[in-house]
A and B are shown apart, each in its own frame.
Chain A
Amino acid sequence: MTAARQSDPFVRDLLGRGDYAIFSEIVAPQTCVLDLGCGDGELLSWLAENKDVDARGVEMDAAKVQKAIAKGVSCYQGNLEECLADYPDGAFDYVILSQTLQEVRRPLQVMNEMLRVGRRAIVAFPNFGHWRVRLAHLLTGRAPKTTRFPHEWYDSPNIHFFTVDDFEILAARENWTIEKRVFLDGNREVKMLPNLLAETAVYLVRRHA
């Protein structure tokens, strides 16, 4: 699995993003996918091209929306937190939220809405429990800054600093079924101590039946 992932040209050449590679493995062919914060539609156009997916995106930035639509992605310009309420229940097979859960105002509400409009949610988030973050915080006594989290506290888009363990606890409390979890350090898969060693966590979540 790991070897295949590392040799996947999609990951290596096109995106260089480990979480995208995992989404591309998780998403089944000929399904309907909503990507929240789809950027310029790179992932969705790949899924449409290679997995014959009915690909829909939401993005706030007009310049990115323009690029996404030009790529043939059905992209809606809007706020992902506000737009979810309009979609009917179970409209999508998967709702993807990549590297954004820590930026939204109400993460739990967003997760629940994702699980309402989608049969499954795929969420990737940065793990603030990673040892480098812990070390930076411990040594400097200041808001942690690492290569992965380069922002100053006052201009960071991140407003919730949660960890792999935090997410697991929430999932248990909310009774979500976790169908798959993948942890990454860069583009390498992490098999042990994810709360300490993973930079990025990817979860495939289903609402409890």
Chain B
Amino acid sequence: MVALTQTKRFDSLELDCGVTLAPVDVAYQTYGALNAQRSNAILITHAFSGDSHAAGIDPQTQQKGWWDSMIGPGKGFDTDQYFIICSNVLGGCRGTTGPGSLDPATGQPFAMTFPVITIGDMVRLQAKLIEALGIERLLSVAGGSMGGMQVLEWAARFPDRVASAIPIATTPRHSAQQIAFNEVGRQAIMADPDWNSGNYYGGKLPGRGLSVARMVGHITYMSDESMRQKFGRRQREDQGIFEVESYLRYRGSQFVDRFDANSYLYITKAMDLFDLAAGQQSLTAVLERAKTKFLVISFTSDWLYPSYQSQEVVNALRRRNQDVAYIELTSQYGHDAFLVEVDEQAEIVKGFLLRVTKGVNRR
């Protein structure tokens, strides 16, 4: 399966902060084919550092998509049956408008003049894309981590436009601990002199700060057990450092090549600001209008997005007797489990989507 990135331009997008971005570009990929009834479309929402390349092989880099194990012919999200869409989020750095894009007013990159964005803004931009693709109602929206936040936002704000929702390893709002880890990442970037108040485009990138931020991130994505098994106390003889140090440095430096430090700041802030129940009496009230069928998945060893956060969503739905399936899958991989534990997820996603499809066809 070859992955091709396309871009769509919209005249403008009104943001939650009151600012209007104009114009706005969205980079996206699609896999499979839209059926004649336009009823088999599934939007995949990516996590913090993901992009629109969710599946297939990029013809230039020869790299597989970030969820290629779950998306493809016969896989969990079966491209023989479904039309899959994945777009880069607003504020990103992989083709969609973000702080690294040129501000039409100045001809310079936005950098820190980019407006504050929210998960809600990301989702409204996705909704524009879906509409432009001629899809009235999605069969499903699915994603893990920050992708799961977008899934919840979709179900809450566009209940008539999503037949089902699959939020994985996610939360209706960040806890103090989650905000704290994000803040460490942001401070690492801003403490790098090369960050230069965000004005580094065309010059030396704040690579040290960004790689430290990424290292912290990677620690939170693993578990004590998965780190013990993967690295233990083994050392790299050539470098005289622990395996785990070598791994984190590698991951950090690799990240600098593909991610923009300012996007890191804006997107982590959007995650921290996200509160599905904000301004409402309760989570139950927010999801009251949802006619969406839910499949909620969490993982036993995920301490960054612990199961209680998923259960809060599940219980809010149960209080309205809404259709929600929930499973806490056993895994040792921590938060990374949603990318790693493919077989179990594929099995349940397949069964769930089949049921949703039957329901949609009956309408």
Contact = CB atoms under 8 A, between A and B. Distances in A.
Given A83-B318, A87-B318, A65 B323 contact: no
Given A66-B329, A77-B326, A72 B321 contact: no
Given A69-B351, A70-B347, A70-B351, A76 B319 contact: no
Contacts of B344: 66
Interface residues of B, number: 25
Given A77-B327, A78-B326, A71 B351 contact: yes
Contacts of B253: none
A143 interface: no
Interface in B320-334: 320-321, 323-330
Contacts of A78: 326
A183 B358 CA distance: 36
A76 B328 contact: no
A62 B319 CA distance: 22
A63 B129 CA distance: 38
Nearest to B329: A62
A115 interface: no
Given A66-B347, A69-B348, A88-B319, A74 B324 contact: yes
A36 interface: no
Interface string A25-64: 0000000000000000000000010000010100000100
A88 B319 CA distance: 6
Range, interface on chain A: 20 to 34
Contact of A72 (B327, B329, B351): B351
A169 interface: no
Given A62-B329, A62-B330, A86-B318, A70 B350 contact: yes
A86 B314 CA distance: 10
Interface string A62-96: 10011001111111111000010011100110000
A131 to B, nearest CB: 42
B241 interface: no
Given A62-B328, A69-B325, A69-B352, A87 B347 contact: no
Contacts of A83: 318
A14 B293 CA distance: 28
B326 A76 contact: yes
Contacts, number: 61
B321 A87 contact: yes
Contacts of B352: 69, 72
Interface centre among A71, A73, A74 (most CB of B within 10 A): A74
B199 to A, nearest CB: 50
A75 B314 CA distance: 11
Contacts of A86: 315, 318-319
A72 B326 contact: no
Interface string B343-361: 0100110111011001000
B304 interface: no
Scoring B315, B327, B350 by chain A CB atoms within 10 A of each residue's CB, the highest score goes to B327
Contact of B321 (A62, A71, A91): A91
Given A66-B348, A69-B352, A86-B318, A74 B328 contact: no
Contacts of A65: 326-327
A172 to B, nearest CB: 31
A77 B310 CA distance: 12
A62 B324 CA distance: 15
A74 B319 contact: no
B295 interface: yes
Contact of B325 (A54, A76, A87): A76
A74 B323 contact: yes
Interface of B: 293, 295, 314-315, 318-321, 323-330, 344, 347-348, 350-352, 354-355, 358
Given A76-B318, A91-B321, 15 more contacts: A48-B355, A56-B323, A62-B327, A62-B329, A69-B352, A70-B348, A72-B354, A73-B325, A74-B324, A76-B314, A77-B328, A83-B318, A86-B315, A88-B320, A92-B321
